[in-house]
Structure 1
């Protein structure tokens, strides 16, 4: 029998005792809050910490996801609505709604008869009640969100003390086998200091790698390269043959990644695996929206001309990163000057406790009736981010974004959302100052919104709420409110950490690297950019209501977003007893004669051709001149449609 040294025995005992101490220590609000800033912990597994979500989704797979309130509560109890009941130990990581009220929310912990936390629903998001401070809680793009953790030891029941609640999502995580300290409402100086640090980090609109160079990501070195890449070339900019981790990287190519074509790819491999861990157009990887930079989160995006990614990437033996410039026939492609910085250290990955970063890029026109899949994989890991460009293939309203997200973990349905913009912490697309443009927030946002182009896009990163799986995960999105019934062209990148390498990839062909440009464009009144002249009054109601007085006047409507070209102009309007006359111009060019909208009975005219225009950046508008027809003085415009003339 071999002799075992006393030193080895003592070391083993110390490790065992440390393990017992870690297990027996209380898991507190502060432990969970730390996850909102410690990006270096993103690769770390959360063993058997599975997520679950209560939401107001339509249980019949229809589209009544909160409109009526029918599915917005579990049961009624003593005149209140029970929204959620979770068995502990666990923690609430995220609460979202687009419809907060001033009614009270009560949180009952561990079977107690009295709520430890009672707060106005709205005050979860206003920043006026501590610790629910901005920007960890807040609202933009139509949605109200809260990421302040609410831990519970045995159970948690959430009760709404109002008559009706509409849309909501409440996401929780199991903390199996942990000694969790339930929410107390008392915060130490160290709690307050940590929350302040989290708030400052989330408010930083110009993040740097220094924000995340802590823990296993500390002690970074920088590998910087400047080079020019030509069509048909591949340039490796990072190549290491010893264990370590990439803490982040930055790529500055000026404006070269912008435009219709996405011909420069980013590629990365860990440990000589057969399939690349990252393989995607640079523009898609960094959240560009249809040829323009758009994403500016605390983890990834672009500011100035610098594209940045601060997701940690541990590897065991080797790491290689390169840019690939794909050739495109029939198009002038210029050489591109690139400046790259890779931040790394030599901290080895712990294979039992950390996964490697993988991303799956895809672009697909899913069949009617079929879900769009962000990620479907077997093995162990956790999902940490989605970047998603959503293009409708039918002109009109962006109804494809009615689709719900669905998540299955280890063979069980865990999360069902209430609409696509809701998944991204937004709400109410196509409404003024809500989901109506690209807006970047710390870990979520809208990348673009255009009714005329029938498209949008969004992103969401998961920190404390990352989606752990032990055996498998499916994470996908509907397109359309019911039955995946809206034709779409979706592009996405799913980011996750895993114990097993990728088995396959989608090749970005020349066709898939080109942004789609529709040929028909519809302008809706709620987002029209209008300028009235003298002699008219304008009200946005069911349509663009233009009232003429005196000699009448004019209203200009901007035709933004649409590519330059020649178009037929079609308009939709109402005829009625008090209908005025109108005439259409493009600046100083008359398109139509005077058209009367006066009629004995109300009627609706669709796609009336009023002329053809040449659209440029200088001529992207039409003007409606309106005059009285006797005493009739109202012109109601509903839609403007442009059809491309080839």
Structure 2
């Protein structure tokens, strides 16, 4: 059964819990302009050093110690207040990168007993009946913890954490329009609540990519057009009123190797109500949520399948609609279109917003005191912000070191959303990847109903991702100003392109215009990553056993060393003085039986220690990573000879010597093994 829930009427006063649940996939409701008092905001562990003083001056606007102090509203004894809201409203999204065992308690409506009292890590597990829905409560493949189960309250809500709760948090919440009340959350879910949660969870689990609407009397419209190079074709022209509820497009080209180029050079535009201005304009692939090229993924409103690129955004109009495809590619293309058109019976004429979606790269430069803010969207009028598609070009990769502009990992930047001219953003995040629902700059592909990452280039290339605001859509009455912090400059090179999606009242200000083809394709600055030939990269070694401190094969070197560090990553091991400190590794290569010379390219600094490398039981000369001076040095050192053979017989062991007056850090770029 396909689930659809109407947006309701303005006369309804109480918002039942199951209705809030059903908003998780109520695409039609997004087109209704917000009522007075309706809002969406977020409490997070952003760095409180970022401030705006009474005169409007931005202070420490680039502060970046999110979650490390930690950050909270205030302390009550040894407890930390993480979030505090007035009702009626609902928490609609909880996120963390490092939830731990310390309890987090949620108090609602002034009650002395918490309605939920769990270790924070259990907020992301099937720990209570309300959280037993894995399409709503999960950890992504890319290490972000998310919980989209609504927690409603009628007068107030406070979130309090015990010591040891973890690190980093978001609590997104909504406030209902004036005059509304809601059914307060209870751990004893009603039958209606369970049914609603199950229906949504089942759809997200088994039917993702299908229409979320009950089709009813939808009118189906199909079109096929061959569009010559350099031409535009009107694919759809509708008179009167209605709404596009489903839009599917397939593009055929002669040479599949050129698909990425074609999907950026071919654009889609939409106009409503006879306007001469685009409400939608974007490269075809970017509009459908991923770039470059066609990367298969499925989310609730958008996706790319083998057959179609699809959109289920609800797009209403009162006096006509047009969809045009322009071919700036140098070959003819063929476009196949399927549209499902709805009427507007569920809406009053004066409450309908118009769907907007626009692509851009870099907008106007902001004042220096606003660095590192990068503009997503500035718009005027009443409406709702509903999503972001971001494609990052970052060929160098990057670590999280704090060395100044260009020396952060690209995803450090927080989202900052100012609503209706507020002086300080009511949505202030903790990192770009956190906004997109994952964590720790993990490039792994994932797809969930409200967010996805559809390509994995190990953070050294293209990184396409999206985030859809459905229950957590951001209503505004007068204006919306949205920014992402962008620490890496374009010449690093780290270059962004985005499609922003929002609803806007007729007559509202949409400032974004079309972008010339030369500015939207081929703008990425090329960069060749240094790689040493014929070596075993540190990041290719597999950690079999660690009896020491903390080890990883996914550590970025300092950016200043990129011309000397092959692949820009290293094996990192911080030994622990109280441990045995042995690290067992596996080499991913086969060798002919024989004796080999062994070299290691290592990073030396004042934190470096002395280590012994043992290959198949043969002890090599010590690896001394210590230098008694400030700075960093990369050096290839000869370690000795060892016998190697078939990979199944090869063992590598690293042992920390624990020498006095030396550090305990080992950073190996690569091993060079020569017969």
TM-score by structure 2 length?
A: 0.74
Q: 1:366 to 1:425 in 2, by over 3 A?
A: farther
Q: 1:113 to 1:293 in 2, by over 3 A?
A: same
Q: In 2, distance between residues paired with 1:166 and 1:554?
A: 34
Q: In 2, distance between residues paired with 1:601 and 1:195?
A: 55
1:8-87 superposed matches below 5 A: 22-23=12-13, 26-48=14-36, 49-61=38-50, 62-69=63-70, 71=71, 73-87=72-86
| Alignment pair present for 1:360 and 2:370 | no
Of the three residues 503, 506, 514, the one matched with 1:497 is 503
Q: 1:572 to 1:220 in 2, by over 3 A?
A: farther
Point out the more displaced range, 382-391 or 350-359: 350-359
Match of 2:162 in 1: 161
Of the three residues 332, 339, 342, the one matched with 2:339 is 342
Q: CA deviation at 1:20?
A: 9.4
| Alignment pair present for 1:277 and 2:264 | no
Q: CA deviation at 1:103?
A: 2.5
CA contact (8 A) 1:366 1:489 kept: no
- CA displacement, residues 130-173 of structure 1 (integer Å, 9 cap, x when unaligned): 11221112111211111111111111111112345420011111
CA contact (8 A) 1:530 1:556 kept: no
Q: CA deviation at 1:86?
A: 0.8
- CA displacement, residues 89-127 of structure 1 (integer Å, 9 cap, x when unaligned): 211111111111223222222222222332332222113
CA contact (8 A) 2:242 2:317 kept: yes
Q: CA deviation at 1:36?
A: 1.0
Match of 2:521 in 1: 513
| Alignment pair present for 1:170 and 2:171 | yes
TM-score by structure 1 length?
A: 0.77
CA contact (8 A) 2:296 2:306 kept: no
C-alpha root-mean-square deviation of aligned residues, in Å? 3.8
Q: 1:453 to 1:54 in 2, by over 3 A?
A: same
Of the three residues 265, 268, 276, the one matched with 1:266 is 268
Q: In 1, distance between residues paired with 2:531 and 2:101?
A: 35
Match of 1:387 in 2: 389
Q: In 2, distance between residues paired with 1:149 and 1:250?
A: 31
Match of 1:248 in 2: 246
CA contact (8 A) 2:246 2:340 kept: yes
1:479-494 superposed matches below 5 A: 479-480=486-487, 488-494=494-500
Q: In 2, distance between residues paired with 1:252 and 1:424?
A: 27
Match of 1:463 in 2: 470
Q: In 1, distance between residues paired with 2:379 and 2:524?
A: 29
1:416-495 superposed matches below 5 A: 416-429=428-441, 435-451=442-458, 453-480=460-487, 488-495=494-501
SS state at 2:276 partner:
coil
Point out the more displaced range, 159-168 or 381-390: 159-168
Match of 2:143 in 1: 142
Q: In 2, distance between residues paired with 1:553 and 1:79?
A: 45
Q: In 2, distance between residues paired with 1:415 and 1:21?
A: 30
SS state at 1:22 partner:
coil
Q: In 1, distance between residues paired with 2:282 and 2:474?
A: 23
Match of 2:426 in 1: 414
Q: 1:163 to 1:139 in 2, by over 3 A?
A: closer
Q: In 1, distance between residues paired with 2:486 and 2:236?
A: 39
Q: In 2, distance between residues paired with 1:183 and 1:206?
A: 27
> Structure 2 stretches of 5 or more lacking a match?
1-7, 51-62, 400-407, 544-550, 556-569, 574-584, 591-599, 644-651, 656-665, 671-675
Match of 2:411 in 1: 401
CA contact (8 A) 1:66 1:167 kept: yes
- Give the paired residue count: 554
> Structure 1 stretches of 5 or more lacking a match?
1-17, 328-332, 430-434, 533-538, 547-551, 558-570, 583-595, 611-623, 641-646
CA contact (8 A) 2:281 2:359 kept: yes
Match of 1:228 in 2: 226
Q: CA deviation at 1:352?
A: 2.1
CA contact (8 A) 2:34 2:382 kept: no
Q: CA deviation at 1:391?
A: 2.1
Q: In 2, distance between residues paired with 1:289 and 1:388?
A: 9
Q: CA deviation at 1:508?
A: 3.6
Match of 1:125 in 2: 124
